[in-house]
Amino acid sequence: MPVVAIVGRPNVGKSTLFNRILGRRKALVEDFPGVTRDRNYAEVTRFDKPFTLIDTGGFEPQSQERLLQQMREQSQLAIEEADLIVFLLDVQQGLTPADQDVANMLRRVDKPVLYVVNKVDGDRQEQGAAEFYALGVEDIFTVSAEHGLGVNHLVAGILARLPEAPKPVTDEEVTRIAVIGRPNVGKSSLVNRLLGYERVVANPVAGTTRDSVDTAFVYNRKPYLLIDTAGIRRKGKVSQKLEKFSVVQALKAMERTDIVLMVIDAEEGVTEQDLNVAGYAHEQGRALLLVVNKWDAIEKDNQTLGRFVEKIRVTFKFLPYAPILFVSALTGQRVAKIMGEVEKVALEYNRQVGTGELNKVVEKAVSSHPPAVYHGKRLKIFYAVQVGVRPPSFVIFVSKAEGFHFSYERYLVNKIRDAFGFQGTPIRLFFRDRE
């Protein structure tokens, strides 16, 4: 999926534009307390071409010098990582030297750059926007992110310039596994260990991208593809504050995987970024295993494991289904167990349950806890079908789909899990009006 990055000085309206383009949709993960609402990357799927949008903001510079330096880093990263750059300017503040500086950088890039002047709320500002032609660019978009003016035109401009999305590889036979985690959690070490066990049959695959290395291997006579996001390291140093760009690699890998191996550092614990990335995997409907690495480095007594599990369960509240593995890539401890777990999860991810069995479970769930009354009438559930796998997806035919609350959806999902397991995989459930 192509990546669109919004760059620009603080306060020009990047996050406002980000939300505007996103067109806020029903939150899934956010319904669970403790999960951050403040994400600065998102998948935009409501237009003809899907793309990943990044708001590169979020830094608070102390001085003009620092501001310029951070803007350069930010722009450089956008130039490397994005397929298209939206350079956002502010008509209220006018053209500044920092804008000029960034424009000079962007001019040398052979990727599409859109120059967008924000806060054009009316005619007066429209005239003011002409000042920005001094940047030496041919086209300028004017928008009011706050009021939504010009945004459709801008989106059309973005879509027209995005590369055609390559067709995803749909080799249904192969199970794809992406190894994801923050820098230094031990991804490379883990991958080396994993492939070490399977080395005889492992080989690099053509189509490996700039962002990850793919390796095909066979486990238990089944084909797998390992997507290793750590395999390629960025040249040169980048500011930790702009770490969100490392999320981009994770997101790209996630788009073409079945299973996510989310690696967590036992010493460091879970960070906000881990949560965001895991939340994204959940929303995308990917199966997920939590791999706690560096277990050797932890001082342990007989309660350490239990406490750790409990902590992870509380933190990843929206992932009650994810198996947790404690390993050490350094010593190799329990690494050999990972593929066994992956194999189980892959089966669950592809599992199809019988309609008869399914409806028994749903009927029983409904009779012990019937749906609410909506506009004076009790909501009715007629029957359920499984409509897909990868992940298992269900449609429940009902009297009035709009009346069903998220909590009832969660209730049914839990009942389906109690009955069938589906370990490691999210479940999708849709209410639909019976015709």
Stretch in the footprint of ligand GDP (CB under 6 A) among 244-252, 290-298, 336-344, 414-422: 290-298
Task: Please list the residues that pair with 206 across neighbouring strands.
Answer: none
In whole angstroms, what is the distance from residue 313 CA to residue 311 CA? 5
Binding string, residues 50-69; x marks residues near ligand GDP by CB under 6 A? -------x------------
Stretch in the footprint of ligand GDP (CB under 6 A) among 6-14, 248-256, 304-312, 339-347: 6-14
Stretch in the footprint of ligand GDP (CB under 6 A) among 7-15, 25-33, 108-116, 167-175: 7-15
In whole angstroms, what is the distance from residue 412 CA to residue 365 CA? 7
Q: List the structure tokens of 190.
A: 């883990």
Residue 178 binds ligand GDP, judged by CB under 6 A = no
Q: H or E stretch including 224?
A: strand 222-228
Residue 144 binds ligand GDP, judged by CB under 6 A = yes
Q: How many residues bind ligand GDP (CB under 6 A)?
A: 31
In whole angstroms, what is the distance from residue 88 CA to residue 111 CA? 16
Choice between 128 and 285, CB closer to ligand GDP: 128
Burial of 208: CB neighbours in 10 Å, binned 0-12, 13-18, 19+: middle
According to DSSP, residue 167 is labeled P
Any binding-site annotation on 11?
yes
Residue 147: CB minimum distance to ligand GDP, A: 6
In whole angstroms, what is the distance from residue 107 CA to residue 102 CA? 9
Q: List the structure tokens of 252.
A: 């790209």
Any binding-site annotation on 350?
no
Task: Please list the residues that pair with 89 across neighbouring strands.
Answer: 117
Residue 70 binds ligand GDP, judged by CB under 6 A = no
Residue 120: CB minimum distance to ligand GDP, A: 7
Residue 400 zone, left/alpha/beta (φ > 0; ψ -120 to 50; rest): beta
C-alpha distances in Å from residue 343, one per residue of 19, 117, 256, 279: 39, 51, 18, 22
Interface pick for ligand GDP out of 2, 3, 7, 13 (rule CB under 6 A) = 13
Residue 10 binds ligand GDP, judged by CB under 6 A = yes
Interface pick for ligand GDP out of 56, 212, 215, 293 (rule CB under 6 A) = 293
Choice between 31 and 243, CB closer to ligand GDP: 243
Choice between 55 and 258, CB closer to ligand GDP: 55
Residue 44 binds ligand GDP, judged by CB under 6 A = no
Choice between 11 and 203, CB closer to ligand GDP: 11
CA 264-266-267 angle, to 5 degrees, is: 120
Closest to 415 (Cα-Cα) out of 356, 369, 354? 369
Interface pick for ligand GDP out of 14, 176, 244, 286 (rule CB under 6 A) = 14
Q: List the structure tokens of 421.
A: 């397991």
Residue 229: CB minimum distance to ligand GDP, A: 9
Residue 193 binds ligand GDP, judged by CB under 6 A = no
Choice between 149 and 339, CB closer to ligand GDP: 149
Interface positions, 314-333, toward ligand GDP (CB under 6 A): 328-330
Phi, psi of 313 (to 5 degrees): -60, -40
In whole angstroms, what is the distance from residue 72 CA to residue 370 CA? 58
In whole angstroms, what is the distance from residue 71 CA to residue 85 CA? 14
E-only strand ranges, 235-286: 259-265
Interface pick for ligand GDP out of 176, 252, 282, 294 (rule CB under 6 A) = 294
What residue numbers does the annotated binding site for GTP cover?
A: 8-15, 55-59, 118-121, 181-188, 228-232, 293-296
Binding stretches for ligand GDP (CB under 6 A): 8, 10-16, 57, 118-119, 121, 144-146, 181, 183-189, 230, 293-294, 296-297, 328-330
Residue ranges for the binding site?
Answer: 8-15, 55-59, 118-121, 181-188, 228-232, 293-296
